[in-house]
Amino acid sequence: MKLYNVAYSGNSYKVRLLLAQLGIACEIVEVDILRGASRTPEFLNINPNGRTPVLDDDGFVLAESNAILTYLARGTKFLPDDRQKFALVFQWLCFEQYSHEPYIATSRFWLQHKPDTTERLAVLAARRDGGWAALKVMEDHLGKNDFFVGDYSIADIALFAYTHVSHEGGFPLDDFPKIQGWIERVKAEPGFIPMS
Ligand SMILES: N[C@@H](CCC(=O)N[C@@H](CS)C(=O)NCC(=O)O)C(=O)O
């Protein structure tokens, strides 16, 4: 397997974490997105959407981090077989991509990689309410559950990726004790690897 990866990206880290916990060896190909490497004709031939991560499993090419998690986790303990639990995992994967990542991950990206301009201020301001709302949903759920769906699953991996570094996007977790406890539980899972 080959993973087109960005070292500091949570979307890529999700896949590296699951690969590590599955014990699957994988060639890592670093893509310098800040220098346009995800938009070259060669890369667009791999993923016409111009984004990482992308998994190449012996010629089967798959983009979208949560689709890759689902592909790798199928038939393992990280993705329940039970129809309702499977659907709930999928629900959290969709939540992560629509209600969490666009606010928390993009704020982090702008803070880490874009100059301090009025445009950046405006972008960050537009993402604040959505980011806090996503964390509130997670905090409430984790008040009643150790993990997002039953045992540790790819729902946790997907949400962990950007939540554990949410302070880097301007979303410190001081007022979210349940999320903090869950972060420690995820870190204690066998085979856990840090982002960097
Ligand atoms: N929904 C996608 C988002 C992927 C994404 O935004 N990737 C960023 C890095 S985190 C990227 O490769 N950006 C490069 C570009 O847009 O050219 C996923 O979950 O994989």
Same domain, 91 and 178: yes
d(CA 193, CA 186): 10
pLDDT for the residue numbered 36: 98
User: What's the pLDDT tens digit per position in 146-179?
Assistant: 999 999 999 999 999 999 999 999 999 999 999 9
Is 107 within a domain? yes
Judge if the beta carbon of residue 163 lies within 6 A of ligand 1: no
Residues 6+ apart with CB under 8 A from 60: none
Dist. CA 161–CA 92, nearest whole Å: 13
Asked whether residue 97 falls in the same domain as residue 116, the answer is yes
Q: How many domains are there within the chain?
A: 2
Task: Tell whether 44 and 104 lie within a shared domain.
Answer: no
Among 148, 161, 102, 157, smallest CA distance to 128 is for: 102
Binding site membership of 96 for ligand 1 (Cβ less than 6 Å): no
Q: Which domain holds residue 7?
A: 2-73
Establish whether residue 64 lines the binding site of ligand 1, counting it when its CB lies within 6 angstroms of any ligand atom: yes
7-36 pLDDT tens trace? 999 999 999 999 999 999 999 999 999 999
Check whether residue 148 and residue 58 sit in a common domain: no
